[in-house]
Structure formats: C-alpha cells, structure tokens
Amino acid sequence: MKLCFTIVFFSVYSSLNILSQKTELTTLPDYDSGVSTFFIIDEAVICYPAGDHLQFWDIKKNEIIDTYQYSLNSKVVALISNNESEYLFAGTKEGDLLVFSKQTKNLVYKKEVDSSGITSLSPIIYKSRMLIGCSNGKVYELNINGQDEPRLFYNCEESITAIQYSEKLDLALIASGEGVVEFFKGPAFNWLTRTKVSKKWIRDLVVDETKNRLFAVGDEGVLWEWKVDKDGGLTFLRSQNVWSNWILSIDVKQGGGVVAMGGLNHKLLVYTNFASYEMKLKGPITQAEIIKDKGTQLKIVCCVHEVGIQIVPLVDMKYKSSF
C-alpha cells in the first residue's frame, strides 16, 4: 500500500513539475501584424505571409528555411497545399487565388475569383479540385491542374467562414454566417443535406476522421459535436458552453482526445482526455492548430490578430480543471 501511494504521489508530482516548466512563446519573425492565416506542412514547417511575401519556418530548427519572394501586393487570408500537390495556393482579401510552384517558388498563375474577397480554401479534393469560399456567400469550384475558370458551386446570403473535406467519408462541408453546415457528397458533390447549428455565425469547423466526428464553433461561444456517417447523417453528441464570447477557431487531434479553441476574448483553451488548460494571449485568435514537437510535446500554433504567429507549448498553459 505504501509503495502504491509513493508511485501515485511521484507520478502526480512529476506531472505538476512538467507543467511548471515555463518556456517563452515563439513569435515568428518578420510577421505582418495584420496576418490572419498560416499553413502547417507535416507538423514540421509553418508557411505564413510575412509582409509582401511568404516565409517557411522550421519548427524543430526554430529558423526560417525558405522564402517565396513574389510580391503579394494583397493580404493573404487562406493557404492550402498537401504532399501530393506540386502547388501551394494562397487566397487573398481582394478575391484572387495565387498558385505557386513548390519546385521553382514562382507564381504559376493567378485567378480572379470574386472581388468580394476570398475567405476560405478547402483541402485539395481528388488531387485536382478545390472549393473557394468568398465573403459574399459564394463558393466556387476550380480544377487546379488546368487553366479553367472557377465555376459557381454554391451560394448563400452570408459570408462563407469554413470549408472542410473528409476523404474517408467523401463529404465536403461548408459553414457560413447563416449558422448552418451544408453537406455535399462526392464524387459529383451534389447537395446532400444541411443542419441548422446556430442563430449566429459558425466561425470554424473540423472533421476528425479517426472517430468520424464533426466539431463546430461560432459566435454563441458554444462547442458542438456530432457523429457523422458517409451519407451525411448526424448523431448529436454534445453542445458545450465555452465562453460568452465568439469562438473563432478550433482544431482536433488524437481522435478527439485533444481539442484547441481560440477566441475573440484573446483566450486559448485546450481540452485533453484528462484536463483543460487556458492562456490569454494579446489579441483575438483567428486560427489555432495542434502539433507535436519532436513527437512528444504538444504545441498550439496560433494566429493572433495584431500580434502575429505564435507557438504555445501546452506545458506553458495554465492548468484549469481535471475531468
């Protein structure tokens, strides 16, 4: 019994000791205070706008390893790519899609999508297609391998806030200021169904394919979770009041075992299977994504309005409660 108590005490002490080891937040260099997006490549490199060009930050080396010198001349609000694509895509506030070659780092082509401004880019679908969301409620589809013009895919009354694609379920999901999530089924991506989530804006959504979970957040300050099937059928699991203010961003990893949310109230909140942690940053958190540094330590990459891109170690966050 004494041995058991000693082991438990030592484990608790060790955990508290780890959490008490503070490290400084990393703010990426040459940031633009108005930066509103970043893209993480293989949990190893962060691509982000820096002034009028794009920079690439190696998370392990803590240094800039590459720069695309093309002068952007407009604010980049969305970035996307994947390992299989030879391109990097940047959507701008002015409504242009900039397509860069990863090999040459040069601009391959530029598409004028919608003058209302691009708000979101979907993940690449079937290695050749992309959905582009705009502030006027329109979504366009583009064949990324050719010079075709974007075609109108979907239209609603409020701004498009998030677009996700689940390869496992073969579903495209679109969220907007109307407070709804629309479902489209591949390969033709015909409209499948919709669910009314909120009377206010949905700001972000994410699909966790490990357990087929859909998470959404928005202006009500609520976290919603459903189980989703390949036909777009939803089983409601929970709605949890998080803050009285807007939740702007969410990311989920480890089968829902780690959930990170960023708010208009400057707060970063992380749920794990065992506890929750919180930290107040110096601006609204418009994007938050979870990574594992060196395979073990959880960190959250945050886009903080009027501050820049910051990397927050979980061990540096304030312990809030246990479950």
Please tell me the CATH superfamily of domain 25-322, with its number.
YVTN repeat-like/Quinoprotein amine dehydrogenase (2.130.10.10)
Given a cut of 50, is residue 51 above it in pLDDT?
yes
127-161 confidence digits (pLDDT tens): 899 999 999 999 999 998 877 899 999 999 999 99
pLDDT of residue 129: 94
Local structure of 266: helix, strand or coil: coil
pLDDT of residue 23: 54
81-92 confidence digits (pLDDT tens): 988 889 999 999
Whether the CB-CB separation of 222 and 213 falls below 8 Å is answered with: no
91-128 confidence digits (pLDDT tens): 999 999 999 999 999 999 999 999 999 999 999 999 89
Please name the helix (run of DSSP H) or strand (run of DSSP E) that holds residue 270, with its range, or none: strand 267-271
| CA dist., res. 65 & res. 176, Å (int) | 36
| CA dist., res. 310 & res. 278, Å (int) | 15
| CA dist., res. 133 & res. 155, Å (int) | 10
Q: Provide the sign of the torsion angle of the four alpha carbons 32, 38, 44, 45, taken in this order.
A: negative
Q: What is the largest CA-CA distance in the chain?
A: 73
What does pLDDT average to over the chain?
89
Strand ranges of the sheet holding 107-112, from the earlier edge strand across to the other edge: 76-80, 87-92, 96-101, 107-112
Dig out the tokens for 323 from the structure: 């479950």
Whether the CB-CB separation of 142 and 150 falls below 8 Å is answered with: yes
Given a cut of 70, is residue 5 above it in pLDDT?
no
Q: Which residue has the higher pLDDT, 189 or 8?
A: 189
Local structure of 301: helix, strand or coil: strand
Whether the CB-CB separation of 90 and 97 falls below 8 Å is answered with: yes
Dig out the tokens for 312 from the structure: 């927050």
